[in-house]
Copies of this chain bind each other. A is one copy, B any other.
Amino acid sequence: MTGQDGPRRGRGRRPADEVRGEVLAAAGDLLLAEGMAGFTFERVSAISGASRTTLHKWWPSRGALALEAYFRTVESTLAFPDTGDIAADLTEQVRAFVRLMTETPAGRVIAELIGSAQTDPELAAAYRENYSAPRRALAVTAVEAARDRGQVRDDVDAEAVVDQLWGACYHRLLIPDQPLTEDFAGTLVDQLVHGIGRR
């Protein structure tokens, strides 16, 4: 229970989980609307109604709060399809990821978070723990299931597949020499599944 630190909307005490969920939803909206520049405990407190004391109790830094809010917000968009056809599933998922990065402010937010993480070890650890490691695990599980169904090579390195698909997209997001597009997503999967070497 959050007691006096809960939302001040005259509704009395509510379960901490409920308050936490509301804070994360409000924080996610703020983050996607304005990016990291406008993202402060003070504004999240004002928008969500939760006190700054509560926010500081639950999240050690604005980076940690931003990360969790980001993850909750994009989680449903990034659900991993499982149709039994690994090439189609990978293409669909990487395309959805590209849309999220390019058609919403999520791309700018995640680029700023990764950028800040390069000189902020706590943020880097929170990023890996709350976001990148669990998302990587989802993709690895899908690739390994495809291997078990006989759709990909027995000796596939599923971790490296993550870097060659989503990592390739992050590369264009962070160093935009070339455009990040849905066609690019399709090309990544095609080249990795079929290989670029002549047969």
Contacts and interface: CB of A to CB of B under 8 A. Distances in A.
B136 A196 contact: no
Interface size class of A (residues with CB under 8 A): 35 or more
Nearest to A180: B163
A145 interface: no
Contact of A163 (B119, B127, B188): B188
| Most B Cβ at <10 Å: residue of A115, A156, A193 | A115
Given A115-B115, A198-B150, A191 B132 contact: no
B115 A191 contact: no
| Most B Cβ at <10 Å: residue of A151, A178, A187, A197 | A197
25 contacts: A112-B119, A114-B118, A115-B115, A115-B119, A118-B174, A127-B175, A128-B176, A132-B177, A136-B177, A153-B196, A153-B197, A159-B178, A160-B188, A161-B196, A163-B168, A163-B171, A164-B168, A164-B192, A167-B170, A170-B175, A171-B171, A191-B192, A192-B192, A193-B195, A194-B195
